[in-house]
Amino acid sequence: MSQLSIRGNLLLGADLVPGALVIRGGRIAAIERGSHLPSLPEPVVDAAIISPGLIDLQVNGGFGAEVGTDPASLRTLSAALPQTGVTAYLSTAVSSEPDFYPALFGAFAAACDAPGARPLGLHLEGPFLSPRRPGAHRRAVIESAPDDLLDTFCANSAVRLVTLAPERPGALHRIAALRERGIAVSLGHTDASADDFERGVDAGAAMATHLYNAMAPFTHRAPNAVGAALTDDRVTCGLIVDGIHSDPLSVRLAVRAKGIDRICLVTDMMAAAGMPPGDYTLFGRKVIVADGAARLEDGTLAGSIATLDAELRNLVAWAGVTPAQALHMATGVPARILNRPDLGRLQINAPADLALFDSDLTLQATYIGGALAYPNP
The catalytic residue positions are 268
Question: b vs e for 290-305, b when ≥16 Cβ sit within 10 Å of the residue's Cβ?
Answer: eeebbbeeeeebbbbb
Amino acid letter for position 237: C
DSSP track, 164-226: E-TTSTTHHHHHHHHHHTT-EEEE-SB---HHHHHHHHHHT--EESSTTTTBPPP-SS--HHH
Residues 10 and 12: their CA atoms lie apart, in Å, by 6
Tally the C-alpha atoms within 13 A of residue 198's C-alpha that lie toward its C-beta.
Answer: 11
Give the other-Cβ count within 10 Å of 177's Cβ. Answer: 18
Contact criterion met (CB below 8 Å) for 290 and 282: no
Torsion of CA 190, 193, 194, 200, to 10 degrees: -50
Nearest to 267 by CA among 231, 311, 299, 225: 311
DSSP for residue 336: H
Contact 23, 299 (CB under 8 A): no
